[in-house]
Amino acid sequence: MKKDFLTLDDIKRSKMLEIFELASKLKKKPFSKVLANKSFVLLFFKHSTRTRLSFEIGIEQLGGNSFYVDGEKTQMFRSETPEDTANSIERYVDCLIVRLYSHITLQRISSNLDKPVINALSDLSHPCQILSDLFTIREVFKDLKGLKLAYIGDGNNVCNSLLLGCSKMGMDITVACPQGYEPNEEMIKIAKGYSQITKSKIEIVIDPEKAVKNANVVYTDAFYSMGQEEEKEKRMKVFLPKYQVNLELMEKAEPGAIFMHCLPAHRENEVTSELLDSNRSVVFDQAENRLHVQKALLIKILGLDKVYPILS
């Protein structure tokens, strides 16, 4: 795979499947020394619970060392350029795991380094989340090709990554969002290129009920993301009640359809507690699988997958 993992455009379908297979093995046998003598920095400019813990614990379980750095307390918040900060950090570690607001800044960092850079979330993309989500869907349905995912809500970084991930794996995806809140146009274009190869379908609609028809997976995310708190009142008026995912909307999906959310959830906004806590919800399986899939990703991105069986 490529040196960096900034979006799902950076990884081939075959490599995604290899990561899924390795993640399944790691889930059964979580501890090894495959990352012994390897060091990772988590350079985070945004709050995190699941992403931070799943990387830190995963690295420890594989014998590596992780170091969390609060981006707001670095010299970047005084006068240092992202390139200078990252160039210095690169001299200390084997891989940088970065969570920040601007994807452009992430690209500036990665293009200047020889060591791998992993996107732990940017305003454009959340590839680790969606790689793990596809693994979770695969656990439930065994095969991804031919399934349909309906995404309801804001066309944000999670939605952008779902478009790439679903189209790459041969899944149909329909996004239901209000006008003005559509996914990134460039991401849609890239996803449509993959959909032509895998013979999958991509639709962007306004009506949530149309989106969930024949859906095997119904997915939503917060109506406002970190950094958009000032837009909260405006967004609530746009999204509620039409784009709330609840049991009534789920009943319009396929029998046996599952509900997904990357968390944290704003209960009674984008999703009701009744649905989130129901047996149709796999949100905590999603959270758990971040650990296993990201461990597999770290092994693959460092080219240690051939060493893993020996050290496990």
| Residue positions annotated with a catalytic role | 99, 126, 129, 221, 262, 290
* Cα–Cα separations (whole angstroms), residue 113 to 76, 84, 88, 91: 17, 10, 10, 10
Q: Quick one: CA dihedral 294, 300, 305, 308, positive or negative?
A: negative
Closest CA to 115 of 64, 37, 41: 41
Residue pair 4/10 in contact (Cβ under 8 Å)? The answer is yes
How far, in Å, CA of 103 to CA of 66, rounded?
A: 23
How far, in Å, CA of 242 to CA of 50, rounded?
A: 29
Query: SS3 of 169, please?
Result: coil
Q: Are strands 148-152 and 202-205 parallel, antiparallel or unpaired?
A: unpaired
Residue pair 3/90 in contact (Cβ under 8 Å)? The answer is no
Long-range contacts of 249-255 (CB under 8 A, 24+ apart): 249/152, 249/208, 249/209, 249/212, 249/218, 250/212, 250/218, 250/275, 250/280, 252/209, 252/212, 252/213, 253/150, 253/212, 253/213, 253/214, 253/215, 253/216, 253/218, 254/148, 254/214, 254/215, 254/216
Residue pair 252/213 in contact (Cβ under 8 Å)? The answer is yes
The two tokens of residue 133 are 């989500």
